Structure 1
């Protein structure tokens, strides 16, 4: 990694990420009496129903679609499945899972397998690869992370949680507004219609998505109770070390040289824990406190491990 890229990564990506997350953590102290859960829920609904669909529409409409682009969701999807499998193996076939409740085990599997591929991935990959890198996190999210989270992820939460829900992956997935925004964007992209002003307007309207969700991440992390424990070590080892290592192996096994989309796929696999895990934990009765704890440590550790994996990927690609 060149000194110029390292400086851009620090100033354009890691510093803004850290400031937004820190703002979310500090805000409740400034605004005493507010409900963190209520505020988090309202922001999530606003992003899910308006800002994110706009951003996904713009990304789908402006992306250059080619077969090599599919390497990103392929690598991320396989690495995610491997991460979930490793977590299940560690929790059910080794002493690491001894004494843990079913909700805690479900939480560990979800936090170990699903990464923040959009809200961390977008600023990181646009810094590393420039404007063309903006398409990678959206395709990774729509074709790998979101389908897996709302199928296998929901199944894990359903089986391990304490709830009265009856999960239906297809109906839930099809009701997600970002899915329709992304589909509409791809339709515009493939149609060839001259809708550049509309696409730019949608991108501008959707621009608050990433800052708001990073702010929500800061709200979610239990800053007053960041004591590491066994569950944290299990999840972090799989999510931040083994998953990107497996993704790198998959990328290197693909025919030809290590391509830019393959690099992006490895970096997406190295992202810290997905914010959506908290929503799944709330909805299906998993251990929300443990989810927040792991998410906090994963985010803090990810600020260190992500540059490491970037150096590794760039070193192998050069």
Structure 2
């Protein structure tokens, strides 16, 4: 990757993302805690019920579903499962997590394995690979990250957090989400070969605000006044940004040899910052929300430094 290409990436992708997060941070200062919760609730509602379903339908319906495309969620899912095993040992059986509360360790475990594959990955992969890059991000999210969050992630919160014995059926809750149904509908359209190009174009238009509003919400959610990190937070953030994608890279090399666009996309997706939805899971299952938010913040900041490294290796 040339310096000129990376500068273009910074200006066209990373700069808008940083400005949106910064705008959310500035807005947070004037809203206060109650205002932040209210606005965040509105943004989440409209995104989950309108913007994200439209974006995911357009991506799935316009996709040519091949084994190459499906390798992206497969590699991401395997990396998450491997990361869970390693990070569990680090947080529960080494000095890094020795003095942490159970709610903190469970929250950090979520942060270390679940990435922001749609909201961070979509603009980045779209820049690198065009429309196909957007499909990589959509399939990574709906084929691996989100279902694993609502199954393995919820199990982690209940089993290791220890604050909530049970709160409904998380898999059922996931299946009731509008983005899941719209994504499945898009897959049906693709597999059946139906010509619905006007609907796909309209869905793509409606779904365009998804990434900007969620990055704005990321800025709203980070506790900017309490950003001093500790060893556990930095360890988990670096695990997420370096160890997990390195795992995906090794698996890709062993299975595919020469990496193609899909495998490169999978490695990049595995190395994106912590998923914003981890904050919702932490709040719902009474984990250490502040520590989770802090890890999201630091993984997002450090991503600006780890991304060039991975692009240099992969492209």
Distance (whole Å) between structure 1 residues aligned to residue 289 and residue 144 of structure 2: 24
Matches within 5 A, 1:80-159: 80-159=80-159
The one-character-per-residue Cα deviations of 1:138-195 (angstroms, maximum 9, x if unpaired) are 0101111011101000101112142364242331121111000001111111222221
Distance (whole Å) between structure 2 residues aligned to residue 91 and residue 270 of structure 1: 20
Distance (whole Å) between structure 2 residues aligned to residue 194 and residue 293 of structure 1: 46
Equivalence for 1:20: 20
Distance (whole Å) between structure 1 residues aligned to residue 171 and residue 26 of structure 2: 38
Query: Offset at 1:31?
Result: 4.7
Q: Does 1:163 align with 2:164?
A: yes
Q: Does 1:11 align with 2:14?
A: no
Equivalence for 2:265: 264
Equivalence for 2:45: 45
SS in 2 for 1:22: helix
Q: Is the 8 Å Cα contact of residues 80 and 243 (structure 1) preserved in structure 2?
A: yes
Distance (whole Å) between structure 2 residues aligned to residue 40 and residue 102 of structure 1: 27
Equivalence for 1:192: 193
Matches within 5 A, 1:157-306: 157-159=157-159, 160-163=161-164, 165-306=166-307
Distance (whole Å) between structure 2 residues aligned to residue 32 and residue 82 of structure 1: 39
SS in 2 for 1:254: helix
Equivalence for 2:309: 308
Number of residue equivalences: 314
Distance (whole Å) between structure 2 residues aligned to residue 205 and residue 117 of structure 1: 20
Change (3 A) 1:234 1:32: closer
The one-character-per-residue Cα deviations of 1:243-284 (angstroms, maximum 9, x if unpaired) are 111111011111342111000000001000000000001100
Q: Is the 8 Å Cα contact of residues 158 and 165 (structure 2) preserved in structure 1?
A: no
Equivalence for 1:61: 61
Q: Is the 8 Å Cα contact of residues 75 and 251 (structure 2) preserved in structure 1?
A: yes
Using the size of structure 2 for normalisation, the TM-score is: 0.96
Using the size of structure 1 for normalisation, the TM-score is: 0.95
Query: Offset at 1:46?
Result: 1.2
RMSD: 1.4
- Long gaps (5+) in structure 2: none
Distance (whole Å) between structure 1 residues aligned to residue 116 and residue 225 of structure 2: 23
